[in-house]
Structure 1
């Protein structure tokens, strides 16, 4: 990657939007005893860094071939919105393929950004189906397929994030650690490529959700691996196969520089940043900040850290689920299946076991026809995790038969 090409792309990009802020975050800096800078890609016009790669891809083709070309992409999220915004900017026609299951909020935002220059087609229940439809469209019509991450021009566009970081920190003021979220790997490839020689290789930390760890798996195997299953909760980084170009560039790093983060831990970060800082993050946008929490003060104290916040396209209809996951991860909410005697006063006796900070959030009979004992699903919220130690001791002392199913993924997915 040629830095002068990236610098040129960044300069040209200023005609579309100003550089995103690099902000010293006082809250996180105080928590970890470090200088924590956030590169706020959630403040781009489409609330993610994806506009960068799309702009760089388009500008090269439009400058060479004019505006008569038609473009096509497949995406259910940030790539579609960046694509649509750039189509309108250049005045070119584009077609966006999205799964039928895409939330209306994302469809409408893509339509708003693209206006008359973008057509949206809903195909299939899953991304793979709409991706194949987009490829078929490109082959039959001659439209240009705009990939989300596995392309040299896309990578060059994402590298402008790093060019801005260098300029914003100032010459000779390099960070000790750069924390990067990873989905398909375009952002990580661009940033590490530009910062090579400025930040040492061991100064990078890559973050993936546990349910979509394609980079970690590929680094471990020494080849590109396609995951059998992907958890789509962190939808902006839920990629089952790292890009080929991206893996080739990132394979120089050891696998232990990839940190896997649980989806529930990411939810804690989303809630914390919303409540404390008033910052709205999507799950993928919270990855790098969740990594800071995993490193803790011991791993960060005294360091200058840049964490890339990749996006803020959060659908607030997901907030109840995010809050639920965050409370479970923080130990503030648990679910139990109880065997409760079917006799007068049994429920009152159970309620007397609860502490002053314990609150029943869910109560449901699972087997209503039971004669002697009934199975009950109960969800309990509390103010401090240690309260559950006291509560379970009270259950045991009372001879209550119960099962804690909070971390039982099979049962939780079925009945919680």
Structure 2
């Protein structure tokens, strides 16, 4: 990457961006966001981690800076004709609020995939001055429609990133940062979609403090800037991943590409699990929940520090936005453990015979189970999907060796997207081997030994034919268990349940169970 970043000959230049940033009109609507120490992250990474809190802006993202700076500079005739913008959400909110404050008409084109929380916010911030048009599946689709509307209406296009006034507005983030922390800074990590924020910050930093590294971060499935820098020219991605929707751009801007090529030190790619882990990290230190794009920079910072260390001075991650769709939180919580390598996921094959389950639990040692899926399906072998809590790197390999030492077959699925996204929810179904099955829902206390107590007290001749558990962070684990009990031993089953003392519900006559899981 650094070879492609070495070309310093193209215009525009850092000095021009700095001049524009110093005179930018942003504080009519934006605030000087906090630069906060992240004590938990700093202690864990062994580095002084600072978070630039652009998620605290009135529109919960940095985009307000560039949008307002561009629109405030329009003359009276341009204001009368109104503005057009395209955005996945955050730029749209900035344009909407700016239009309301400046009392000009704005038409904002958003992809149909934009989170509803962002669409609703655009309408709220813009009020009567803003029209929202939903078009296409990505920012690029929305941009094409916005350009058509601009030509049709003779309006001014307020580009989300490829405009010097927009870039200069975003660059005020760097001016604030340098004023807030005048001591040693090793590196600043910046999320990249179209590149406006990265171009602005990199330009100002290299003009004022060239010794500070500026490193862009992109989602691995929306890495248009990284690919462009590798190729030495702008490229167009066929598709972009939409998890980090705020940076889901198929092609970066010509201005942003020129500036990033000259002034960025590197661009890192991070995966979805790493982004989810970074969202959780920010929450733990700030009690705020960033959107996926808002956590990109921290995910890259963690990746960089793990490989290179922190160097001399603090490291900064720009938390660029907090317009999170609430519905995504379940997915984020589930994947954060894997992203932090605190959960390992395995498919383990054990003999379908008495005592195998206990041997399997013994092989786990003191590791807590985060998920357990099993359905009887083979008279000879039991195939188990299991999630295991890990405390440090390298424990996955130790668990694999422990399973193999017990002659269990094992597949490490921790990095398998198919397993993590789909197969974990599809294990089960009807089984001709599940004769005399009784189905119970249990509340197990979330403490070591709860499962062992259950197994130790169960009648040795009974067989577990179904087991499902997922840790949801509650005091009690909700567990579904199928137990094969002969009809003449149902009284003994009731005695066992009473002696166990765990809250339970008999679901053996549940109509969904009979439809989907019973032969």
TM-score normalised by the chain length of structure 1: 0.86
**Which stretch of the first structure deviates more once superposed, 201-210 or 92-101?**
201-210
State whether residues 34 and 302 of structure 1, in contact with CA within 8 Å, keep that contact through their aligned partners in structure 2. no
Work out which of the residue numbers 205, 209, 218 in structure 2 matches 1:199: 209
Work out which of the residue numbers 163, 166, 175 in structure 2 matches 1:163: 175
Structure with more contact order per residue of length (Cα contacts < 8 Å, sep ≥ 6): 1
1:281-296 equivalences in 2 (<5 Å): 281-296=290-305
Q: Give the match for residue 5 of structure 1.
A: 20
1:215-264, Cα deviation, whole Å (9 max, x unpaired): 2222222111223342222222232322111111222247x622222332
1:310-361, Cα deviation, whole Å (9 max, x unpaired): 2222223222222222211333323333445555665555445443433251
Work out which of the residue numbers 394, 408, 412 in structure 2 matches 1:404: 412
2:422 & 2:410 partners in 1: Cα distance?
Answer: 18
**Which stretch of the first structure deviates more once superposed, 199-208 or 187-196?**
199-208
State whether residues 94 and 118 of structure 1, in contact with CA within 8 Å, keep that contact through their aligned partners in structure 2. yes
Return closer, same or farther for 1:299/1:70 CA change in 2, 3 Å cut-off. same
1:153-207, Cα deviation, whole Å (9 max, x unpaired): 211211222232334346xx57443332222111111122233331116632222
Q: Give the match for residue 38 of structure 1.
A: 51
1:360 & 1:5 partners in 2: Cα distance?
Answer: 52
Return closer, same or farther for 1:334/1:192 CA change in 2, 3 Å cut-off. closer
Work out which of the residue numbers 192, 210, 220 in structure 2 matches 1:182: 192
1:187 & 1:337 partners in 2: Cα distance?
Answer: 43
Q: Give the match for residue 27 of structure 2.
A: 14
1:148 & 1:119 partners in 2: Cα distance?
Answer: 17
1:128-157, Cα deviation, whole Å (9 max, x unpaired): 433333222222222322211111221121
Return closer, same or farther for 1:2/1:148 CA change in 2, 3 Å cut-off. closer
Q: 2:150 aligns to what SS in structure 1?
A: helix
Matched, 1:99 2:111: yes
TM-score normalised by the chain length of structure 2: 0.70
Q: Give the match for residue 258 of structure 2.
A: 248
Q: Give the match for residue 358 of structure 1.
A: 368
Q: Structure 2: which 5+ runs fail to align? A: 1-15, 425-519
Q: Give the match for residue 278 of structure 1.
A: 287
Aligned length: 408
Q: Give the match for residue 400 of structure 2.
A: 392
Return closer, same or farther for 1:111/1:293 CA change in 2, 3 Å cut-off. same
State whether residues 203 and 263 of structure 2, in contact with CA within 8 Å, keep that contact through their aligned partners in structure 1. no
Q: Structure 1: which 5+ runs fail to align? A: none
State whether residues 355 and 391 of structure 1, in contact with CA within 8 Å, keep that contact through their aligned partners in structure 2. no
State whether residues 20 and 165 of structure 2, in contact with CA within 8 Å, keep that contact through their aligned partners in structure 1. no
Matched, 1:259 2:268: yes
Work out which of the residue numbers 70, 73, 77 in structure 2 matches 1:57: 70
Q: 1:177 aligns to what SS in structure 2?
A: strand
Matched, 1:151 2:163: yes
Q: 2:118 aligns to what SS in structure 1?
A: helix
1:220 & 1:384 partners in 2: Cα distance?
Answer: 34
RMSD: 2.9
**Which stretch of the first structure deviates more once superposed, 404-413 or 111-120?**
404-413
1:306 & 1:380 partners in 2: Cα distance?
Answer: 32
1:387 & 1:306 partners in 2: Cα distance?
Answer: 30
State whether residues 88 and 246 of structure 2, in contact with CA within 8 Å, keep that contact through their aligned partners in structure 1. no
Return closer, same or farther for 1:41/1:202 CA change in 2, 3 Å cut-off. closer
1:385 & 1:188 partners in 2: Cα distance?
Answer: 32
Q: 1:92 aligns to what SS in structure 2?
A: coil
Shift of 1:308: 2.3
Shift of 1:71: 1.9
Shift of 1:86: 1.1
Matched, 1:76 2:88: yes
1:120-135 equivalences in 2 (<5 Å): 120-135=132-147
Asked which structure has the greater CA Rg, the reply is 2
2:55 & 2:282 partners in 1: Cα distance?
Answer: 13
Q: Give the match for residue 213 of structure 1.
A: 223
State whether residues 174 and 199 of structure 1, in contact with CA within 8 Å, keep that contact through their aligned partners in structure 2. no
